[in-house]
């Protein structure tokens, strides 16, 4: 069981590091958007590439950040129902859902690799004059993001399996900051 928890910890650290790094993309997005607004309304000018950069920055925020959000329990779950289940049912639900997410993530990685490869092969860029080149880089976040989701789902499934086998509480059963869980 210790080896499984160690493996889950290694996988968690990968997702956490990428998630924290991608969080800085939010700061860059705010700066770009504020600059675009300032240029447009104060100086009556702007650039196509700067506007495209706004939605290009959304790709790493969403696709790399989704795994981190799940890791940090920032996802939506019907906690008032989930909290009432016995430990074994909770752990079983966690195992099944994380394995289903893992399967979906692997399928999406496999399907998106060809999509990114095709974009790279044709040298896809913006169709707009003055737009950003290398659109394949943006599309490459699709398989990367879902690979991270597969890693996070694997780690969570491993932890839930250990929890079910040992009877130890799941992360979802432990209230944040040592507070009692409100039901």
In this predicted model, what pLDDT tens digit does every residue of 56-114 receive, in sequence order?
898 889 998 888 888 887 666 667 777 788 888 988 988 999 999 999 999 999 999 99
pLDDT at 174 over 60: no
Alpha carbon 137 to its chain's center:
17
Look up the pTM and report it.
Answer: 0.80
pLDDT in tens, 112-148: 999 999 999 999 988 888 888 888 888 999 999 999 9
Mean pLDDT, rounded, for 168-181: 55
Q: How far is CA 121 from CA 113, 115, 135, 136, in A?
A: 12, 10, 11, 9
Check if the beta carbon of residue 94 is closer than 8 Å to that of residue 102: no
Query: What pLDDT is attached to residue 132?
Result: 87
pLDDT band of 168, cuts 50, 70, 90: confident
Give the side-chain half-sphere CA count within 13 A for 37: 6
């Amino acid at each position: 069981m210790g080896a499984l928890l160690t493996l889950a910890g290694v996988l968690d650290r990968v997702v956490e590091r990428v998630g924290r790094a991608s969080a800085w993309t939010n700061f860059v997005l705010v700066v770009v958007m504020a600059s675009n607004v300032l240029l447009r309304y104060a100086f009556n000018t702007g650039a196509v590439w700067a506007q495209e950069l706004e939605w290009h920055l959304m790709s790493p925020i969403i696709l790399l950040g989704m795994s981190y959000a799940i890791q940090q329990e920032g996802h939506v779950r019907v906690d008032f129902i989930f909290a009432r289940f016995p430990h074994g049912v909770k752990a079983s639900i966690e195992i099944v859902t994380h394995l289903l997410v893992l399967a979906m993530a692997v399928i999406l990685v496999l399907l998106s690799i060809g999509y990114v490869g095709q974009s790279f092969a044709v040298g896809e860029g913006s169709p707009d004059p003055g737009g950003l080149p290398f659109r394949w880089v943006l599309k490459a976040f699709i398989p990367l993001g879902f690979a991270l989701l597969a890693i996070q789902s694997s780690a969570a499934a491993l932890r839930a399996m250990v929890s079910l086998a040992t009877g130890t509480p799941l992360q979802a059963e432990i209230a944040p900051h040592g507070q009692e869980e409100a039901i």
